[in-house]
């Protein structure tokens, strides 16, 4: 178990307790403090002195999350490995469920489940439900689903990886700063099957202002996710069936998302430069973007005029339908993991 920490001293004790109290598994825990300016290092030392299962390392210069995570991966010696941010928590029984699945399914290299999202300032919801079933995909099928959506279906703390598979795919890619986890999951799926725990959450993912993924604009988000997929295809194309088809699929998904965001920017009367940047992104990643319905909707919005398009009845219906699809996607994710 690897716990990178930077200024999360107030979360550390809860995070570590959620690991050490896991039942029916043996755990070793490495906490790496990346030059925190709060009391993280002191908390780490106290925790390590209290329990021999904990090892603590303290950086003398800040290396960043990806380098710190990769340092932890090189340390891992157990059969399974977990990367858990110091502000997140495991749910009771999560490691037992994941390792049981992988013991029974030698081809499965990664297990994940549903996380509980814990927004800042709100009480954390108590885990509920029971382990009802396990869904196992071939890696190829899981990659195809991710290329169809262009989105990750994983927050991160709910993932357990077989260490031999982790060694086979290598470190997190520093070129994918905000999307290195998405890139990693795709690379793991290129060499192994993927499993999902149904019926009960596997981890608690805190959502707050200092979270790494917070505060990204629409174009930054798209570019970061594109970088993850581009790096994946660059390193794993030889392991895939029809990689060109998969690239076209994800390009189409990204183009649709970019054009929809451009349309909403027009509706809100946002800066026209953002609309043009999103449109250019869509054309660059999917040259057939002008054939998409989102393209035609964007052009009509531009003709109606920024801001005025928001009152156009067909577009009101389109916005409602988009929100309903979003709700359906989230409901499916809770049930199936994709």
pLDDT band at 156 (very low <50, low <70, confident <90, very high): confident
Tens digit of each residue's pLDDT (9 = 90 or more) over 167-223 = 999 999 999 988 999 999 999 999 999 999 999 999 999 997 666 554 568 899 999
Q: What is the mean pLDDT of the chain?
A: 91
Instruction: Please give the pLDDT value at position 334.
Output: 63
pLDDT band at 135 (very low <50, low <70, confident <90, very high): very high
pLDDT band at 287 (very low <50, low <70, confident <90, very high): very high
Interaxial angle between packed helices 272-285 and 293-304, expressed in degrees from 0 to 180 and rounded to the nearest 10: 160
271/29: higher pLDDT: 29
> Is pLDDT at 310 greater than 90 in this prediction?
no
Gap between the Cα atoms of 116 and 18, Å rounded: 14
Categorise residue 89: left if φ over 0, alpha if ψ from -120 to 50, beta otherwise.
beta
What 3-state class would DSSP assign to 237?
Answer: helix
Q: Please choose, from the candidates 100, 24, 13, the residue with its C-alpha nearest in 3D space to the C-alpha of residue 54.
A: 13
Which residue has 């920017």 as its token pair?
265
Phi, psi of 107 (to 5 degrees): -85, -10
Phi, psi of 77 (to 5 degrees): -125, -10
Task: Please provide the size of the chain in residues.
Answer: 338
Gap between the Cα atoms of 161 and 153, Å rounded: 16
Cα→Cα distances 277→8, 33, 239, 265, Å: 36, 38, 33, 11
Q: Tell me the average pLDDT across 286-306.
A: 92
- Least reliable range by pLDDT among 106-110, 232-236, 269-273, 308-312: 308-312
Q: What percent of the chain has pLDDT over 70?
A: 89
Structural domains in the chain, sorted by start: 2-207 (3.90.550.10), 242-336 (no CATH)
Instruction: Please give the pLDDT value at position 164.
Output: 98
DSSP H helices in 105-217: 139-149, 163-169, 180-189
Tens digit of each residue's pLDDT (9 = 90 or more) over 25-64 = 999 999 999 999 999 999 999 999 999 999 999 999 999 9
- Least reliable range by pLDDT among 21-25, 46-50, 122-126, 334-338: 334-338
**Sign, CA torsion 294/297/302/305:** negative
DSSP H helices in the chain: 9-20, 40-50, 65-75, 94-104, 139-149, 163-169, 180-189, 218-236, 243-267, 272-285, 293-304, 313-336
Gap between the Cα atoms of 111 and 117, Å rounded: 18
**What is the pTM assigned to this prediction?**
0.91
pLDDT band at 123 (very low <50, low <70, confident <90, very high): confident
323: exposed, middle or buried (Cβ count in 10 Å: 0-12, 13-18, 19+):
exposed
Residue 206's DSSP bridge partners are: 118
């Amino acid at each position: 178990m690897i716990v990178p920490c930077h200024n999360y001293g107030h979360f550390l004790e809860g995070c570590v307790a959620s690991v050490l109290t896991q039942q029916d598994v043996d755990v070793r825990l490495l906490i790496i403090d990346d030059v925190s300016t709060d009391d993280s290092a002191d908390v780490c030392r106290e925790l390590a002195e209290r329990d021999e299962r904990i090892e603590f390392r303290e950086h003398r210069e800040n290396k960043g999350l990806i380098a710190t995570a990769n340092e932890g991966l090189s340390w891992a010696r157990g059969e399974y490995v977990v990367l858990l941010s110091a502000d997140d928590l495991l749910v009771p029984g999560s490691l037992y469920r994941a390792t049981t699945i992988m013991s029974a399914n030698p081809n499965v290299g990664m297990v994940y489940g549903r996380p509980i999202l814990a927004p800042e300032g709100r009480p954390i919801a108590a885990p509920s439900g029971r382990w009802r079933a396990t869904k196992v995909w071939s890696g190829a099928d899981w990659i195809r689903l991710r290329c169809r959506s262009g989105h990750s279906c994983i927050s991160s703390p709910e993932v357990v990886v077989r260490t031999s598979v982790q060694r086979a795919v290598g470190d997190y890619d520093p070129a994918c700063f905000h999307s290195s986890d998405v890139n990693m999951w795709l690379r793991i799926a290129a060499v192994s099957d993927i499993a999902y725990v149904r019926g009960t959450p596997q981890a608690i993912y805190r959502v707050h202002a200092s979270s790494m993924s917070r505060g990204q604009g629409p174009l930054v988000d798209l570019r970061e996710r594109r970088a993850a997929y581009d790096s994946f295809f660059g390193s794993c194309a030889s392991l895939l069936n029809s990689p060109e088809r998969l690239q076209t699929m994800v390009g189409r998904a990204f183009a649709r998302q970019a054009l929809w965001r451009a349309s909403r920017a027009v509706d809100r009367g946002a800066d026209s430069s953002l609309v043009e940047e999103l449109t250019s992104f869509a054309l660059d990643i999917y040259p057939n973007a002008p054939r998409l319905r989102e393209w035609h909707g964007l052009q009509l919005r531009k003709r109606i005029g920024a801001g005025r398009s928001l009152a156009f009845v067909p577009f009101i219906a389109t916005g409602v339908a988009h929100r309903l699809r979003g709700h359906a996607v989230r409901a499916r994710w809770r049930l199936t993991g994709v």
